[in-house]
A and B are shown apart, each in its own frame.
Chain A
Amino acid sequence: MTTPPAPPLRLVVRRRGREGQPLEFSLGVPSDLACVGDAVELVALQCRAGPLSMRRLAFNLRTALAEALTNAITYGSRRDPAKVVQVRVEVTVQAVVIRVQDVGDGFDPAAVPDPTVPANVAKEDGRGLFVLRHLVDQVTFNPKGNVICLTLRAG
């Protein structure tokens, strides 16, 4: 079975990051899980000049962003391709900050079960938020729970 091609993505640079200014860009991602891989690569490519090591850029940023986008598309947009998940990224010398916003009703992150307790280890899903929390330096949500903000500090 071949994965269908993902729709094209368009990245908007909001600030170019010259002369010590932060680089800021945004990306609208259609709520199609086939778009996740391309969206992650586009963001990672733009972050290459930032403060993260190649290893953290290759693994931590990519995996964490894939988790955040998958959650937003699956639970926020209910996989409706007409709904767009907004990604906004700021790259400074101190950190990369990624904000992912969906149009859903939000959720309570404290209510998500621990996937590592014996009863849950063999389940097929439920690990996304847990994995994400371990890969970045800070995770915050807005009160509604439809915006997640990931901070990866320099290094």
Chain B
Amino acid sequence: MSFNLRKDSKGVVVVGVDGQLIVGNRQELKQKVLDALEGGAKKFVIDFSRTGYIDSSGLGVLVSLSKKIREQGGDLRLAGLNEDLQTLFELTKLDTLFSILKTPEEAVAAF
């Protein structure tokens, strides 16, 4: 499992989550995004196209990051959720908190 950060030509940071986002690795994701935020990035997309599962700790870190990014005048969008992950966001009503797009390309284009 790992997190891959890339910055596209519009300056959007796209973070790919490989494997899972859970209690054991959420801090690593948080630190990578916060480092990019501190480096001046404002627009973020988390890409879950290659993610198997997310636990509630992973959901919690997304809530935390979204707050911190908004405090800095930026925005965090989510993309690439499979049907099970989409259901997880709907069940927890987190779909009302996040802007969720089908693909990372759509999420980047929407900025």
Contact = CB atoms under 8 A, between A and B. Distances in A.
Contacts of A63: 53-55, 88
A154 interface: no
B27 interface: yes
Max chain B Cβ within 10 angstroms of own Cβ: one of A1, A34, A35: A1
Interface in B56-91: 56-57, 59-61, 63-64, 67, 84-85, 88, 91
B28 A2 contact: yes
A124 interface: yes
Contact of B92 (A33, A59, A62, A130): A130
B92 A124 contact: no
A125 interface: yes
Interface residues of B, number: 30
A92 interface: no
A124 B25 contact: no
Contacts of B23: 33, 36, 66, 70
Contacts of A58: 52-53
Interface of B: 1, 20, 22-25, 27-28, 31, 52-57, 59-61, 63-64, 67, 84-85, 88, 91-94, 96-97
